[in-house]
C-alpha cells in the first residue's frame, strides 16, 4: 500500500476500541498493536495499565484522540488482590521484598478500617510510578539511579471499597475511584493501617467511565481478525467517551461557524465555563465552552 493510500485508509477510523488488555504487555505496546491492525491510524489510550495489570484499556483512534483526557479523568473500577505479610519495592509482585510481618488481619479488622479509605483521602504514589520529580519519572529515578524517590502525598478520591473474599493470606477487593488513585498505594496503606505490610499480586480494571468489560475485546481476538475492516466493526463512536457532557444541538450553519473557529451565541441558562458537545445531525462537531462573549470551540472534530 502506498503512503498516500495508507493515510487515506487510516483517516477512516475514528472512535474507541475497548481492549481487554492481557498480563505481560504495556499499554504503549497494546496501542502499537492496535495501530498496526488499523493501518497505522493515529491512536492513544485512555489511561495506563501496568504490564502486571489486566482489563479495560480504552484506545482512541483518529479524531477520538482529542477526547482521551475525558476518558482518563473518568471514574475507574478495579478488582485487586493484596498479599498480607510482605511489602515490596514496587508495591506489586514485580519488586523485591523490603519488609515482612507475621500479622494477618481478620475479616472483621479489615471491614472496620475500610470506611477510612473512602472519600477524599491523602495518598502517596508508589516510588515506581510515572509521577514526575524535577522533570524525571519516579520509576526512572528508582530503577536507573538506585534511589527511592520521596513523593509528596496528594488528594485522591475513593468512591467505594469492598472486601470480596479472603483466604491463605490474600484478600480480594473491589474499588471505584477517581483520577490519579494508585491501587498499589491503596494496598500498601491498608496493610500499614492494619498493623502489617502488603502488596498487590493481581490487578484487573473492570471499568473506565462508560467503557466496561461487556464491550471489550481481547488482544488475541483482535489480532485474529482478518483485516482492519473486520476490526472496525468493534469501534465505538467518538461520542462514547463524552456521555457525561451535555449535548447542544446546532444547525448546519452553526456547525460551519465552529469549524472556522467562530463563536456561537449563548443561551440565558448557560453557566460560564460549562462545556457542551455540539452535535449536528447526529455528528459531533466540537466541544465548546461558555464564555462571556459566546460559545467558544475548544476541540473541533473532522468527522
Q: Give residue-wise pLDDT tens across range 96-148.
A: 999 999 999 999 999 999 999 999 999 988 865 555 555 555 555 555 555 66
Which residue in the list 50, 91, 92, 176 is annotated as catalytic?
50
Q: In the 8-state DSSP scheme, what is residue 47?
A: S
| CATH of segment(s) 3-74+210-241 | 3.30.2350.10
Q: What are the distances in angstroms from CA 255 to CA 12, 67, 288, 297?
A: 21, 19, 11, 10
How far is the C-alpha of 220 from the C-alpha of 211, rounded, in Å? Answer: 19
Alpha-carbon gap, residue 263 to 296, rounded angstroms: 5
Residue 196 in grid coordinates: 502489617
pLDDT at 272 over 80: yes
- What pLDDT shows up at residue 83? 98
Residue 4 pLDDT grade (very low, low, confident, very high; cuts 50, 70, 90): very low
User: What is the rounded distance in angstroms from the CA atom of residue 88 to the CA atom of residue 130?
Assistant: 17
d(CA 47, CA 90): 19
User: Does the domain made of 245-300 have the CATH classification 2.30.130.10?
Assistant: yes
Burial class of residue 13, CB neighbours in 10 A (0-12, 13-18, 19+): buried
CATH 2.30.130.10 in the chain, residues?
245-300
Return the CATH superfamily for domain 76-206. Answer: Pseudouridine synthase (3.30.2350.10)
pTM tops 0.75: yes
Q: Mean of the per-residue pLDDT values for the chain? A: 89
> What pLDDT is attached to residue 227?
86
**pLDDT, position 185:** 95
Residue 244 annotated in active site: no
Per-residue pLDDT tens for 34-63? 999 999 889 999 888 988 899 999 999 999
Which residue spans of the chain are classified as CATH 3.30.2350.10?
3-74+210-241, 76-206
- The three three-digit cell numbers of residue 228, written as one number: 482492519
Q: Tell me the per-residue pLDDT of 229-255, one tens digit each, with 9 for 90 and over.
A: 899 999 999 999 998 899 999 999 999
Amino acid at each position: 500500500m502506498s503512503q498516500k493510500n495508507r493515510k487515506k485508509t487510516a483517516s477512516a477510523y475514528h472512535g474507541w476500541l475497548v481492549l481487554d488488555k492481557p498480563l505481560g504487555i504495556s499499554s504503549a505496546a497494546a496501542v502499537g498493536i492496535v495501530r498496526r491492525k488499523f493501518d497505522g491510524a493515529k491512536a492513544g489510550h485512555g489511561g495506563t495499565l501496568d504490564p502486571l495489570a489486566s482489563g479495560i484499556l480504552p484506545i482512541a483512534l483518529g479524531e477520538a484522540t482529542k477526547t482521551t483526557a475525558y476518558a482518563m479523568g473518568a471514574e475507574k473500577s478495579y478488582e485487586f488482590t493484596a498479599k498480607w505479610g510482605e511489602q515490596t519495592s514496587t508495591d506489586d509482585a514485580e519488586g523485591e521484598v523490603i519488609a515482612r510481618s507475621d500479622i494477618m488481619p481478620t475479616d472483621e479488622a479489615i471491614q472496620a478500617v475500610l470506611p477510612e479509605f473512602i472519600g477524599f483521602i491523602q495518598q502517596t504514589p508508589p516510588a515506581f510510578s510515572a509521577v514526575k520529580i524535577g522533570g524525571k519519572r519516579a520509576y526512572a529515578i528508582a530503577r536507573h539511579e538506585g534511589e527511592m524517590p520521596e513523593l509528596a502525598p496528594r488528594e485522591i478520591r475513593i468512591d467505594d471499597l469492598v472486601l470480596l473474599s479472603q483466604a491463605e493470606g490474600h484478600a480480594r477487593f473491589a474499588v471505584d475511584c477517581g483520577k490519579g488513585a494508585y491501587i498499589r498505594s491503596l494496598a500498601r496503606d491498608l496493610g500499614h493501617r492494619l498493623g502489617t505490610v502488603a502488596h498487590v499480586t493481581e490487578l484487573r480494571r473492570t471499568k473506565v467511565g462508560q467503557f466496561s468489560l461487556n464491550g471489550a475485546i481481547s488482544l488475541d481476538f483482535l489480532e485474529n481478525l482478518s483485516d482492519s475492516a473486520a476490526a472496525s466493526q468493534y469501534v465505538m463512536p467518538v461520542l462514547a467517551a463524552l456521555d457525561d457532557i451535555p449535548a447542544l444541538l446546532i444547525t448546519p450553519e452553526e456547525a460551519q461557524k465552529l469549524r472556522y473557529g467562530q463563536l456561537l451565541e449563548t443561551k440565558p441558562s448557560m453557566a460560564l465555563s460549562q462545556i457542551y458537545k455540539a452535535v449536528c445531525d447526529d455528528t459531533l462537531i466540537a466541544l465548546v465552552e461558555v464564555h462571556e462573549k459566546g460559545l467558544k470551540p475548544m476541540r473541533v472534530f473532522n468527522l
